[in-house]
Structure 1
Amino acid sequence: MLLLSDAKQMDFVVLGLRGGRVRLSADLGKGPASVLSTAVNDGHWHSVSQSPEGRIQGPEPDRDLNPALMLFLGGLPAGVNGRRIGVSSSLQGCLRSVSLNGTILDLSKPFSQHDVTSCFTKDQTGSYFNGSGHAELMHDGYKVGADMAVSLEFRTSQSEGVVLGISSAKVDAVGLEMVDGQVVFNVNNGAGRVALRSTGPVLCDGLWHHLVARKTKHGLTLRVDGTQYSAANPYPQSTSAETNNPVYLGGVPAGVKQNCLSVRSGFRGCLRNLRLARSHLNLPLHLSSAHFLSGVTPDSCPAS
């Protein structure tokens, strides 16, 4: 989506997608007008332009667009109501070579940006983390309790990074991280941290790996590509991790304490097929519906 508008959104020009087609709409003083293209939602690049000679159906404007305008690409910031101009969602896709009145816009230096990530020439299923941010899910809190499991697939070339963190304000927490090219699963039920680490060839080889990390009252298990590791709970009096906190993936916000992570660097790579299981509840984690995303492309991962 591209929006040109004055500060009060009285005058505007919007170039966006509706029903898989490009929609150009405008209001320059005498009411809105619009025109639709043929379908373009085919996953291929398309070139779109609107010249001064171009016409859209509707009343003739009685003035030019107010020069005191704002330009938004891809969506609208929080607090800006897009109802009048017909904008209800952000663009899930890629933009390149954007020009305005013949001037190429430098998209690498915006005045501000939010949740803008990379585009990939070839992609595959997964969620891409660029190492600079994180995803926050279950903002109202996730209770780990006595038994829980997390399963996912990952691909990375970095030897260190946060995969998952759930931590209470006290000491109860669970954490998954990459340390020296291996997966480390940490649990604290309140009496002390228990850590379980994979061994063997390093896992930061750019290939997909499957892991399942499970916590029970009496111990931990970690399975990576079919190889299983286990550790007993040395604190039998403490069997439940009492958390009611968000689930962080790929990193954690600055200033947010995590009691079961030894690294703070963000995960750089791809995650897919994420699930959290507790008792009879097995939840898929969809990053496209995350409470907060930064440095994450939720529905696309660069092909290896």
Structure 2
Amino acid sequence: MARVNHADFATVQVREGMAHLSFDLGSGNTSVSIPRIINDAHWHKIRVWRDKQQGILTVDGRYSKHTVSPKKADILDVVGMLYVGGLPLNYTTKRIGPVLNTHTHRHTHARTLDMENPVSSYRVGSCFTNPEPGSYFDGTGYAKAVATYRVGNDMSVDLEFRTSSSSGVLLAISSQKMDGVGIELNNGRLLFHADNGVGRVSAWHSVTAHKLKHRLELIVDGKKSEAASPDARSASADTNDPVYVGGYLGAPVKPLP
């Protein structure tokens, strides 16, 4: 927020990963920062409080610093426009200094700001209303969850996931030969594959997957889907290879072999 000529202004910014407060009441600039890194993808609470010439900056209710404006001016004389998150592209910052528009999720309380209905906005979206635990896989991102794993006769997998993609690898274990199992999305269908060395069998639409020797079971919302290899003697998928969750070796997503 600022006066038209920026003789008075106040700004709260993240600079070099730290919260920074700066203001001028018309008789000289003063500023203060908290030496705590806050650009760490975690939620943080910033509180700014000013009483006449004194300004106080607090982070997470634990770390606090104050500053005092020079001389005797004690009124912040600014126009009635408060910007949150950045400044318009044609806004001349003058004495405020370089301002970087931020990419953050935030909850704001200043008086009571209605962030759902601002006077105007530019590239502003909504936060997740209910942050939840879990792992996020971006594109072909993947995690090698287990270094070596032998599928053998039996195997059970439980997955809970959410995605906007129609195709992608959810889990893959594959030997250098033919043996392996895989769970994938392929054009919107959820597929479960297994190869015990004599050819691939597949079942689809599953959240819980069981490999029982040469048989496969998938259960979606209580509904079971089954498949079986025609050769009951081939019961073990002989792997000793990584288990990948998400993308597969960083390669573009494609149907599993």
| TM-score (ref. length: structure 2) | 0.51
Aligned partners of 2:218 and 2:224 also within 8 Å? yes
Structure-2 change in CA distance of 1:103 and 1:263 (3 Å): farther
What are the superposed Cα offsets for residues 127-159 of structure 1, whole Å, 9 maximum, x if unpaired?
A: 2222231111112x1111110011011112222
Give secondary structure in 1 for the equivalent of 2:138. strand
**Could you tell me how far apart the structure 2 residues matched to 1:263 and 1:172 are?**
12
Which of 179, 184, 187 is the matching residue for 1:180? 187
Aligned partners of 1:217 and 1:233 also within 8 Å? no
The alignment status of 1:121 with 2:124, answered yes or no, reads no
User: Where does residue 195 of structure 1 map in the other structure?
Assistant: 202
Which of 230, 236, 241 is the matching residue for 1:234? 230
Gaps of 5+ in 2: 1-15, 19-33, 48-56, 59-64, 66-84, 87-95, 104-125
The alignment status of 1:250 with 2:243, answered yes or no, reads no
Specify the structure having the higher radius of gyration (Cα).
2
Q: CA deviation at 1:170?
A: 0.8
**Could you tell me how far apart the structure 1 residues matched to 2:256 and 2:98 are?**
44
Structure-2 change in CA distance of 1:254 and 1:134 (3 Å): closer
**Could you tell me how far apart the structure 2 residues matched to 1:137 and 1:252 are?**
12
Q: Which has the higher contact order (CA 8 A, sep 6+)?
A: 1
Give secondary structure in 2 for the equivalent of 1:154. coil
Give secondary structure in 2 for the equivalent of 1:132. coil
Aligned partners of 2:180 and 2:196 also within 8 Å? yes
Q: CA deviation at 1:254?
A: 4.4
User: Where does residue 149 of structure 1 map in the other structure?
Assistant: 156
Structure-2 change in CA distance of 1:226 and 1:143 (3 Å): same
**Could you tell me how far apart the structure 2 residues matched to 1:235 and 1:107 are?**
59
Which of 118, 124, 141 is the matching residue for 1:133? 141
Aligned partners of 1:161 and 1:263 also within 8 Å? no
Give secondary structure in 1 for the equivalent of 2:208. strand
**Could you tell me how far apart the structure 1 residues matched to 2:136 and 2:183 are?**
17
Structure-2 change in CA distance of 1:43 and 1:219 (3 Å): same
Gaps of 5+ in 1: 1-14, 18-34, 55-95, 109-119, 199-209, 265-304
Structure-2 change in CA distance of 1:106 and 1:253 (3 Å): farther
What is the alpha-carbon root mean square deviation over aligned residues? Answer: 4.2
Which of 155, 158, 162 is the matching residue for 2:165? 158
Give me the identity figure in percent: 41
Aligned pairs, number: 163
What are the superposed Cα offsets for residues 180-203 of structure 1, whole Å, 9 maximum, x if unpaired?
A: 2121000001111011122xxxxx
**Could you tell me how far apart the structure 2 residues matched to 1:253 and 1:105 are?**
36
Q: CA deviation at 1:104?
A: 5.1
Structure-2 change in CA distance of 1:262 and 1:146 (3 Å): same
Q: Give the partner amino acid of 1:215.
A: K
User: Where does residue 21 of structure 1 map in the other structure?
Assistant: none
**Structure 1 runs of 4+ off > 6 angstroms?**
105-108
**Could you tell me how far apart the structure 1 residues matched to 2:195 and 2:102 are?**
44
Structure-2 change in CA distance of 1:106 and 1:243 (3 Å): farther
User: Where does residue 210 of structure 2 map in the other structure?
Assistant: 214
**Could you tell me how far apart the structure 2 residues matched to 1:245 and 1:107 are?**
42
